[in-house]
Each structure stands twice: as structure tokens, then as C-alpha cells.
Structure 1
């Protein structure tokens, strides 16, 4: 893919699908609020997100240098939506590895929505179902925060605040410009949307089914002792992979396997 200008470079046309904002509390919220005006494949990008949202109501810290964007995906099968966050994680991995050879085959998924390298968080994903566009199609807004060129110390964020994060510029010899990354992310997310669409496809060729081998290969947790924090308790065991519905499998005492659809997971 040829190098492209950054979104804020003057006098150069931007792609029709890209909506750029100088600042924004949350690109996901912005996309939800303007649902009727956005279309399949549109992206909302800002260099300064002030009130980003993460999973389970947590704050997503987005200091200068975080690539913050939300993509609109339409015509999705509502029955397949529970697996879309994991699929979006793979799309982020492929987009980065295409452009950053230094990272090739090194990126992993931490269930359900983080991209890791060497157990450090490089990107986070927040997928949210929406009411749909003017045509009533099922929609998802896929928010991505990618640590592209971030100086966490200068931003005043300690290790606890950033969750052991890492910036792409610290591990890559050359960092792609923002528009190039956005185009690559969009390319893979549109491929993903086709797999999750409402078209009549056999179960073996839709949703997570085609992605399971790669999801399992990229699983950052498998084989490690983990704790999953639920609303009322914490359960410890050994991560045993991801099932066909995108659920995290944990091996408990007595070699019993339990599947989880949500929860905050940490290595122990």
C-alpha cells in the first residue's frame, strides 16, 4: 500500500468515507449521535479524544499520539454480533502487520478486545451495536484506540492508568502515517463485515467460524493462569481457548471447562 498523507495535511483531498474532528469526547458516541448521516464503511477520526470509553464502563486514556477512530459497519446479522469484537481484533492485527513488518506474527489477542505484543497493550477495541441507519439495517460501531506515537510519561500516565501499554513507535523502525493506517483498518473491517452480514450463508462460512483457527493461534491467554472478574465474584483457572461463539474457556478444578461471555480478565 503506498504512503498516504496524514488526515490533517492541508490542500490534499481526504477519502469520502473519512470524517475528521479536531477534538471529540468519544468517536463512538459521535457516530451514534449522527447515525442517520453515516454510511457503511464511514470512519470518524480525531487526534484528541477527551472522554473515551472502554469495556465495562472504564475510561480509555487517549493522550497525544493515540490513533482514535470509529468505523460504521452495516447490514450485519444480529445473531453474529457477540463475536464481532474478537473479529475486529484480528482486523486490527492484520492492518498493523501489513504496514509494520517489525510486528509481523508477533501480535496477539487478549480476550475479548485488546491487541497485545509481548503482553503489552498496543490497541483496544470497543464494539457497540447501534439502532441502525435510516434503512433499518443492523449496525455496529467499532471503536479503535491504537497507541501509534505516544509518550506515556509526558502525558502523566503511570503504569496503572495505561494498563501496561506500549506505543507502536517504540517497537517499530518506521511508523505508518495515520491515513495509511486508517485505510488498512477499513479494508480489513469491511472484509469482516461481509463475514458477519445478513446474507444467506452457511454457518461454517459466516461469523467467527472461518476465523477460529486464527483466533486460537493468536490467543494471548491460552495455557496461562487467569482470573476473570465478574459482577459478583472472581473465578480463577487456566485459559483453555476460545469457542465457536467467541466465549472464553477456562479450565477449573477437576478439569472442568466453563465458558464465559463477558468479564474482565487478567493474568495471575
Structure 2
């Protein structure tokens, strides 16, 4: 059976990483009670009964790891669009790992990998706001707020697994047209933290390697990693 449901755990990603030797390609770790979820840059992922939290383990070649967060985000969009056809073309991918609806965060992805002799095991942690989120959570939106129908957790998990397994042998370059039409940041002025400096410039797109392109003055540079600190919509 591909589904492992835990009564409670601190983080499905942490549990999956600690039990990698027991997991197989496509296995899903799921809990309805995650007590210490993690997001990108060690942010805390606040979980409640209204949030689907799960981790999916995939076996990839080492070369496939580059830009995989974008591929995973696209798979989440495909899964939601399949179950909620009225949302086709309405969901956006915010580099590198967030899914936005109506300008607000609907879902987040956290990819963590371990390198073996000639391949990689990657754990794709996914959080989706299903029902209304607390008002204390900034800039968030839920499936309940964008659609009259909210799929049950089992249907969402199965579709997420299918979409991830369908895309996991593809590359960012192959999927770039699909990624670009869903690019939330393109054309927006952003404040970006490279890890060594902060830049303010225009996000101009995503390149073949999955890097974020930012124009500062007359120069456009690619960025493989970093954090978007702010988005200016003016």
C-alpha cells in the first residue's frame, strides 16, 4: 500500500527522511495532526485540521534534482486542476515552491533529498490549505474560498501522487512552457535576498535551468537560490 497514515507527527518530511530505507518510490506519508511542520528556509509551517500535510518519496537521478521544486509545484497545480476543473488556468506558481490563487498562498512545497551511490531519494513535502485558514495567517487562501467543492483528503493525496509520478522523470527545460504561463512573479518588482545581498528589481521570468531571472538596471541575472522578501504590485 502506498499510503502511510500517521496518527500524529512533528513533520511528515522529517518522518519520511528518518525512514527512507523503509519507503518505496511513490510512497505517501500523511497525517491529520502535524505538530512542527517545516517550510523553506526553516520557516515554521503552521498546520491545523484545515490543512492537508503530506510527504511523497520519489527516486530520481541526481541530474533531475536541479529545479525539482518547480516541477513539484506544477504537479500540485495539475492535481488541484484535475479535481477542481473550474480552477484550470487560475493557479500560479511563485518561484520556487509556492502555489498562489487570487494573489494569495494556497499551497507550499518543500523538497529535501538524500544522495545515494548513483541516484537520489527526494521527499516532497506538500501543504494545501483546504478549508478556511485562520485570520492570523497572512496572505493565505484555501480551496474552500476559491471553489464550491473541496475534495476529500484521500482523493487529493491520490491525485498528488499520480501527478508527481507522471512528472518526476521530466526536466524543467521540458516543462518550461507550462511553468512560464503560470509564473506569478514575472513582470513584478520584487525585493530578493540572495543570501549575501538584497536586490530590488523586476522578475523577468524563469530560465531553462529553473533559475529566477531578475533585472536590476539594464542587467538581467539568473539566480539559482534565494528568497523573495517582498512583491510590489504598483
TM-score normalised according to structure 2 size: 0.95
Task: Check if 1:29 corresponds to 2:4.
Answer: no
Structure 1, gaps ≥5 residues long: 1-15, 196-206
Structure of larger gyration radius: 1
Deviation at 1:194, TM superposition (A): 2.3
Which of 25, 29, 52 is the aligned partner of 1:44? Answer: 29
Asked whether the equivalents of residues 186 and 203 of structure 2 are also in contact (C-alpha less than 8 Å), the reply is yes
The 2-side partners of 1:101 and 1:152 are apart by 26
Q: Give the deviation of 1:146 after TM superposition.
A: 0.4
Query: 1:151-190 residue pairs with structure 2 within 5 A?
Result: 151-153=133-135, 158=136, 162-190=137-165
Q: Which ranges of structure 2 fall in alignment gaps of 5 or more residues? A: none
* Kept after mapping to 2: 8 A contact 1:64/1:150: no
**Could you tell me how far 1:234 is from its partner in structure 2?**
1.1
- Alpha-carbon offset, residue 209 of structure 1: 1.6
Pairing 1:56–2:56 present = no
Match of 1:139 in 2: 121
Q: Distance in 1 between matches of 2:94 and 2:49?
A: 24
Classify the secondary structure of the residue corresponding to 1:69.
strand
Q: Point out the structure with the larger strand share.
A: 2
TM superposition score normalised by structure 1: 0.83
1:211 aligns with 2:175: yes
Aligned partner of 2:207 among 216, 223, 243: 243
- Aligned position for 1:85: 69
- The Cα offsets for residues 131-171 of structure 1, whole Å up to 9 and x where unpaired, read as 45xx8641110000000113414xxxx2xxx3411111111
Write out per-residue CA displacement over residues 96-121 of structure 1, whole angstroms, 9 at most, x where no aligned residue.
01101231210000000000011100
Cα distance, 1:82 vs. partner? 2.0
State whether residues 102 and 171 of structure 1, in contact with CA within 8 Å, keep that contact through their aligned partners in structure 2.
no
Secondary structure of the structure 2 residue equivalent to 1:176: coil
Q: Which residue of 2 aligns with 1:126?
A: 110
Equivalent residues of 1:102, 1:173 under 8 A apart: no
- Local SS of the residue matching 1:213: helix
RMSD over aligned CA atoms reads 1.3
